[in-house]
Chains A and B, each alone.
Chain A
Amino acid sequence: MTGDFRLRGHGMVEPWNPIRFTFDGRQYQGCKGDTLASALLANGVHLVGRSFKYHRPRGILSAGAEEPNALVRVIRDRGRETPNLRATQVEIYDGLRAESQNRWPSLRHDFAAVADLAAPLLPAGFYYKTFMPSLAAWRDWFEPLIRRAAGLGRVPPTEDADRYANRFAHCDVLVVGGGPAGLAAAREAAASGAWVILCDEQPRLGGTLRAEPEARVEGMAARDWVDAAISELAAIARVTLLPRTQAFGYFADNFLALAERCTDHLATPQAGRPRERLWQVRAREVVLATGAIERPLVFPGNDRPGVMLAGAALDYLLRYGVAVGRQVAVVTAHDSAYRAALALHGAGVSVPVIADLRTGEPNAWAVRVRAAGIRVEAGAVPVGSDGRLRVHGVRLRLLDGTAESVSCDTLLMSGGWTPSVHLFSQSRGRLRFDAALECHVPDVSVQQERSAGACRGVFNLADVLADGARAGAEAAREAGRTSRVIAPLGVTGAQEMRGGPVSPIPAKGRAFIDFQNDVTAKDIALAAREGYRSVEHAKRYTTAGMATDQGKLGNVNMIAALAQATAQAPADVGLTTYRAPYTPVTFGTLAGMARDALFDPVRTTPLHDAATAAGAVFEDVGAWKRAWYLPRGGEDRHAAVARECAMVRSSVGVFDASTLGKIDVSGPDAAEFLDRIYATTLKNLPVGKCRYALMLTEAGFVMDDGIVARLGDGRFHVTTTTGGAARVLAHMEDYRQTEWPDLRVWLTSTTEQWAVIAVQGPRARDVLTPLVRDIDLAMLPFMAVRDGRLLDAPLRLFRVSFTGELGYEVNVPANRARAIFDVIMDRAQEFGGALYGTEAMHVLRAEKGFVIVGQETDGTVSLDDLGFGVMGRSKRDFVGKRSLSLPDMRAPGRLQLVGLLPERILEEGAQITSVANPPPGTRALGHVTSAYHSPALGRPIALALLADGRARHGETLFVPMPGGAIPVRVVPPVFVDPEAGRVHG
């Protein structure tokens, strides 16, 4: 037996396939086809959770995605633990472990339930009211307390062990919802030759047809027709059926996001299979067949475990063969609860009373259930419920005013049905309030979309099927398919069910509107009294609809309560905005494959392995891994950098500069183009020569620098900073395409094609001379470029220096770089040379006062600020030139590049002041941009941007630090070889 409340001969589950699972450590038995909720109910368990604010005991309220109470944590194994799952959607498997949340030490005895006793002290807007007066009380007392208490569920303690997949899909018609309307729509669209995707959140398609007690479709029981329709659809190659797939977002241009649960229902998922899959679907046409959600009634004690939606009870009976109780009372304002009562009664469950809030003539349903022997009390109102961990009675006020308590172990309620317009609303469609149905329904579509069935207020099964077929045919036609009308489906036994929303029932006690966030009708009334009359304000003030269920059950009742409190019609209250996701989506689904190395891809140079073999410690520069320093023996960073610097100054060092951006600029107007795009004059650059070039934004600020080498009349090789490569190419393309489309010039990134091996130091020429062919190194002057060969590979050799030493940059094809690097290293080692890293490179260039764009500059630094003012005085126009003469660019007090000689190594970013202990509010004179220990000088040095810095050479200023101010002497920004003799070798 799979639970004492399992009924033989009912449901579509397989009692002959028992499944064992645990809930809060206790073992239970369910069966194949069960959800966690149905299996618990089959075992008589209603109490499954505690509410968020008051920690009130709560039971299973619904049978679907809208469930606000039955939130559980499911633990499969280490790394596979998911909080906040709705038990109504969790399919059980053998060995499933689930735990309730928001309680301590146990569900039955929860200490935090004292919050419930304190409820009168926790009114709507409690936080705002309490924490306004005292910031200190908030910081020291309330915030830590609330942070401990807040949050629902627990973040899994370990990294997610699962993998997640992502799929893009296109189709003619996407049908959301596999109930009667969706199935009819999919059949019709498929018959028209359309490519169709049909998705549904449930494990099995069919929706309400699977819990249809009486109606027959095409002469078959509804559930049998569903099976036939599904196998018919599944046989069509153009149709993709996606059960267990929640459409959770509807974005622009008919782009929808679906989350497919692939393995959560399996006891032993196949290794490597994704747990969930994100479908990103671009549909020509969409049919929304998202159904309707039943509304709870708002009466005191409507949240006790055992109080449940009537439709859910019908679901549990017809789908799962579970009786939700033995004595099931009903309170309702809608006919559908009669149908549930009748079905339960037919299954042998006692139904002591149906209390119908509506007065007037008994309708056909009342007549029918009375004939079956069920007592009906028209005009009876529930004014309370009894019980603590489980309801054991409902208190009614009968039409004649007498009070009566009716014993029951389960209480069903129904306030009617609300069309699920969430996705329609997300698509930006306009809703209208239907006065007859007393709810919002889709009105004007904004995208290629239409709604069908209950989600647009069509409820009778025959009408729903016809409406779905209409929508499917229309969608196929709009998608360009020729619709072929298939015969209308024959439906018999479909019953009219009517009824409507009701306002909260005025009675003493707390009547819950938002079950998860514990918002009561009184809270809404209070918010309205305090002036929060707009539905959006009332929502935020009371937090109604802001829990993980997004108010699927409560929103309509909140509107009714607000309408009541503000004496408005519900139509005038309006609706809060629906936003994606419809139900919570795991981060894994959204991230898909984009995690670890695929989330943040790493770029490595062709010499990465060589640097690794040489013991390099790497640093991240953008996406690049660059060799930072290469310690030997027990060297720390400072020792390694000092040795590397000394090696370059005294002999030779080799450096991997492959990350530099490289752009091939070709065409008859290439020289003219570069002359306009760089501040440096380039038109007169002779073939075979290089020039240091600075690039400005149009606003006149330095944005990049590099070397421009002229290879021929119309051919240039341009380098950029490592981080600026993409930005510079985009900037150049912008001007080429949009400002100067008449110039005949083409730009090609060659960053990845060329590897760059810098050989720097007094012995650089000795290293390269025997290796290089077709270039006479002795005749190659500083700032020259030649093409030659090295190891039979094409070589582009630059004589340039970023160290101040004699230097070359060896450019070779990336796929030959390693072999060439090895022969260069062999040669360099003969002179005591070795690889050096980016830290030594930084120190060496700082000793020479060479700036690094992005370190000495920050987007507000001009040519003149860096000491390149003469460049800006060129007669010709170039990008940024006009801005150089704007008043602020010439105003006194600009920050200018200087060198600093401090007593200790400074911190980059530290402020500079004229006095050692400036009073608070003192404006800094500038800041430190680069700071190192200089091995060449044997002392700390720094570069800085300083107000009127060039006029301050010789002054002593201060860098205030927590341990006391550091005096610094201002000097020109060149510390080594100011005559630049060494670079000429």
Chain B
Amino acid sequence: MLIVCCPYCGDRPEIEFRHAGEAHIARPVDPASVSDADWAEFLYFRTNPKGRHAERWRHVHGCGRFFNAVRDTVTDRFVGTYRVGDAPP
């Protein structure tokens, strides 16, 4: 069981968290002006990289906050976690 460092609460066991998909996929500010293809890209397409992956986690059984993390999908180790709006490590 991984230890996840919540940027608000600190180190906590993985069972307190829920994974919430890839990070840094911003909802278009004006969806109406987005083409069908770009909208489908936003909805459905994710990078699924081998290696460093920026992803969203939520401390659902703790402070309830969403935050971002960079995790290596090969080693399953966290490179770092950071608050929404901050730059990835």
Tell me if A877 counts as interface (CB < 8 A to partner B). Answer: yes
Interface size on A, residues (CB 8 A): 22
**When each residue 60-72 of chain B gets 1 if its CB lies under 8 Å from chain A and 0 otherwise, what string results?**
1000111000000
| Residue pair A252, B2 in contact (C-beta under 8 Å) | yes
| Residue pair B58, A253 in contact (C-beta under 8 Å) | no
Tell me if A733 counts as interface (CB < 8 A to partner B). Answer: yes
Which residues of A sit under 8 angstroms from B87, Cβ to Cβ? Answer: none
Tell me if B79 counts as interface (CB < 8 A to partner A). Answer: no
Could you tell me which residues of chain A, from 869 to 904, have a CB within 8 Å of some CB in chain B?
877, 881-883, 885-887
| Residue pair A733, B1 in contact (C-beta under 8 Å) | no
Which residues of A sit under 8 angstroms from B27, Cβ to Cβ? Answer: 698, 739
Could you tell me which residues of chain A, from 838 to 888, have a CB within 8 Å of some CB in chain B?
877, 881-883, 885-887
Tell me if A434 counts as interface (CB < 8 A to partner B). Answer: no
| Residue pair B66, A733 in contact (C-beta under 8 Å) | yes
In the assembled complex, how far is the CB of residue B50 from the closest CB belonging to chain A, in whole angstroms? 17
| Residue pair A882, B32 in contact (C-beta under 8 Å) | yes
| Residue pair B84, A741 in contact (C-beta under 8 Å) | yes
**When each residue 732-765 of chain A gets 1 if its CB lies under 8 Å from chain B and 0 otherwise, what string results?**
0110011101000000000000000000000000
A739 to B66, CA, bound (A): 11
| Residue pair A730, B3 in contact (C-beta under 8 Å) | no
Which residues of B sit under 8 angstroms from A887, Cβ to Cβ? Answer: 36
Tell me if B43 counts as interface (CB < 8 A to partner A). Answer: yes
In the assembled complex, how far is the CB of residue B64 from the closest CB belonging to chain A, in whole angstroms? 7
CB-nearest residue of chain B to A699: B43
| Residue pair B66, A698 in contact (C-beta under 8 Å) | no
In the assembled complex, how far is the CB of residue B69 from the closest CB belonging to chain A, in whole angstroms? 14
Tell me if A104 counts as interface (CB < 8 A to partner B). Answer: no
Which residues of B sit under 8 angstroms from A877, Cβ to Cβ? Answer: 30-32
**When each residue 720-740 of chain A gets 1 if its CB lies under 8 Å from chain B and 0 otherwise, what string results?**
000000000010011001110
Size class of B's contact patch? 20 to 34
In the assembled complex, how far is the CB of residue B5 from the closest CB belonging to chain A, in whole angstroms? 11
| Most chain A C-beta atoms within 10 Å of own C-beta, residue among B26, B31, B39, B58 | B31
Which residues of A sit under 8 angstroms from B30, Cβ to Cβ? Answer: 877
**When each residue 271-286 of chain A gets 1 if its CB lies under 8 Å from chain B and 0 otherwise, what string results?**
0000000001010000
Which residues of A sit under 8 angstroms from B58, Cβ to Cβ? Answer: 730, 733-734
Known: A734-B20, A738-B56. Contact between A881 and B39, CB under 8 A?
no
A886 to B66, CA, bound (A): 29
Known: A734-B20, A734-B66. Contact between A886 and B39, CB under 8 A?
yes
Which residues of A sit under 8 angstroms from B3, Cβ to Cβ? Answer: 252-253, 282
Which residues of A sit under 8 angstroms from B64, Cβ to Cβ? Answer: 733
Tell me if A255 counts as interface (CB < 8 A to partner B). Answer: yes
Which residues of A sit under 8 angstroms from B31, Cβ to Cβ? Answer: 877, 881-882
Could you tell me which residues of chain B, from 2 to 22, have a CB within 8 Å of some CB in chain A?
2-3, 13, 20
Could you tell me which residues of chain A, from 949 to 981, have a CB within 8 Å of some CB in chain B?
none
| Most chain B C-beta atoms within 10 Å of own C-beta, residue among A252, A699, A738 | A738
A733 to B66, CA, bound (A): 9
A251 to B40, CA, bound (A): 38
In the assembled complex, how far is the CB of residue A621 from the closest CB belonging to chain B, in whole angstroms? 22
CB-nearest residue of chain A to B20: A734
| Residue pair B39, A737 in contact (C-beta under 8 Å) | no
| Residue pair A253, B60 in contact (C-beta under 8 Å) | no
A741 to B64, CA, bound (A): 14
| Residue pair A738, B84 in contact (C-beta under 8 Å) | yes
| Residue pair A737, B43 in contact (C-beta under 8 Å) | no
In the assembled complex, how far is the CB of residue B74 from the closest CB belonging to chain A, in whole angstroms? 11
| Residue pair B34, A253 in contact (C-beta under 8 Å) | no
| Residue pair A882, B39 in contact (C-beta under 8 Å) | yes
| Residue pair A737, B84 in contact (C-beta under 8 Å) | yes
Which residues of A sit under 8 angstroms from B40, Cβ to Cβ? Answer: 886
Which residues of A sit under 8 angstroms from B84, Cβ to Cβ? Answer: 737-738, 741
A698 to B84, CA, bound (A): 20
In the assembled complex, how far is the CB of residue B75 from the closest CB belonging to chain A, in whole angstroms? 8
Which residues of B sit under 8 angstroms from A282, Cβ to Cβ? Answer: 3, 13
A730 to B59, CA, bound (A): 11
CB-nearest residue of chain B to A733: B64
Which residues of A sit under 8 angstroms from B39, Cβ to Cβ? Answer: 882-883, 886
A877 to B28, CA, bound (A): 11
The 8 Å CB contact of A882, one of B26, B34, B65, B66, is B34
A877 to B39, CA, bound (A): 14
Tell me if B76 counts as interface (CB < 8 A to partner A). Answer: yes
A835 to B73, CA, bound (A): 54
**When each residue 301-329 of chain A gets 1 if its CB lies under 8 Å from chain B and 0 otherwise, what string results?**
00000000000000000000000000000
Known: A734-B20, A739-B27. Contact between A251 and B1, CB under 8 A?
yes
A251 to B1, CA, bound (A): 6
Which residues of A sit under 8 angstroms from B60, Cβ to Cβ? Answer: 730
CB-nearest residue of chain B to A253: B3
In the assembled complex, how far is the CB of residue B33 from the closest CB belonging to chain A, in whole angstroms? 10
| Residue pair B1, A253 in contact (C-beta under 8 Å) | yes
| Residue pair B36, A886 in contact (C-beta under 8 Å) | yes
| Residue pair A255, B1 in contact (C-beta under 8 Å) | yes
Could you tell me which residues of chain A, from 675 to 704, have a CB within 8 Å of some CB in chain B?
698-699
A885 to B36, CA, bound (A): 8
CB-nearest residue of chain A to B29: A877
In the assembled complex, how far is the CB of residue B53 from the closest CB belonging to chain A, in whole angstroms? 16
In the assembled complex, how far is the CB of residue A663 from the closest CB belonging to chain B, in whole angstroms? 13
The 8 Å CB contact of B2, one of A253, A733, A738, A739, is A253
The 8 Å CB contact of A252, one of B20, B76, B85, is B76
Known: A253-B2, A699-B43, A883-B39. Contact between A738 and B66, CB under 8 A?
yes
In the assembled complex, how far is the CB of residue B4 from the closest CB belonging to chain A, in whole angstroms? 9
In the assembled complex, how far is the CB of residue B24 from the closest CB belonging to chain A, in whole angstroms? 10
Which residues of B sit under 8 angstroms from A738, Cβ to Cβ? Answer: 56, 66, 84
Which residues of A sit under 8 angstroms from B77, Cβ to Cβ? Answer: 252
A726 to B1, CA, bound (A): 24
In the assembled complex, how far is the CB of residue B44 from the closest CB belonging to chain A, in whole angstroms? 8
Which residues of B sit under 8 angstroms from A252, Cβ to Cβ? Answer: 1-3, 76-77
Which residues of A sit under 8 angstroms from B36, Cβ to Cβ? Answer: 885-887
CB-nearest residue of chain B to A735: B27
A253 to B12, CA, bound (A): 11
CB-nearest residue of chain B to A168: B13
A881 to B43, CA, bound (A): 12
A883 to B44, CA, bound (A): 12
**When each residue 251-266 of chain A gets 1 if its CB lies under 8 Å from chain B and 0 otherwise, what string results?**
1110100000000000
A253 to B75, CA, bound (A): 12
A255 to B76, CA, bound (A): 14
CB-nearest residue of chain B to A879: B27
In the assembled complex, how far is the CB of residue A568 from the closest CB belonging to chain B, in whole angstroms? 28
CB-nearest residue of chain B to A739: B27
Which residues of B sit under 8 angstroms from A737, Cβ to Cβ? Answer: 65-66, 84
Which residues of B sit under 8 angstroms from A883, Cβ to Cβ? Answer: 39, 43
Which residues of A sit under 8 angstroms from B43, Cβ to Cβ? Answer: 698-699, 883
Which residues of A sit under 8 angstroms from B26, Cβ to Cβ? Answer: 739
A737 to B31, CA, bound (A): 19
CB-nearest residue of chain B to A280: B1
In the assembled complex, how far is the CB of residue A280 from the closest CB belonging to chain B, in whole angstroms? 8
Which residues of A sit under 8 angstroms from B1, Cβ to Cβ? Answer: 251-253, 255, 280
Which residues of B sit under 8 angstroms from A741, Cβ to Cβ? Answer: 84-85
A885 to B85, CA, bound (A): 31
Which residues of A sit under 8 angstroms from B13, Cβ to Cβ? Answer: 282
CB-nearest residue of chain B to A428: B75
**When each residue 228-252 of chain A gets 1 if its CB lies under 8 Å from chain B and 0 otherwise, what string results?**
0000000000000000000000011
Query: Can you list the 9 inter-chain pairs with the closest CB atoms, starting with the nearest?
Result: A882-B31, A253-B3, A737-B66, A255-B1, A252-B2, A739-B27, A738-B66, A882-B39, A699-B43
24 intermolecular pairs with C-beta atoms under 8 Å apart: A252-B1, A253-B2, A280-B1, A699-B43, A730-B58, A733-B58, A733-B64, A733-B66, A734-B58, A734-B66, A737-B65, A737-B84, A738-B66, A739-B26, A739-B27, A741-B84, A877-B30, A877-B31, A877-B32, A882-B28, A882-B32, A882-B34, A886-B40, A887-B36
Other than the known A252-B3, A282-B3, A734-B58, what 9 A-B pairs have Cβ atoms closer than 8 Å? A252-B2, A252-B76, A253-B2, A737-B65, A738-B84, A739-B26, A739-B27, A882-B28, A885-B36
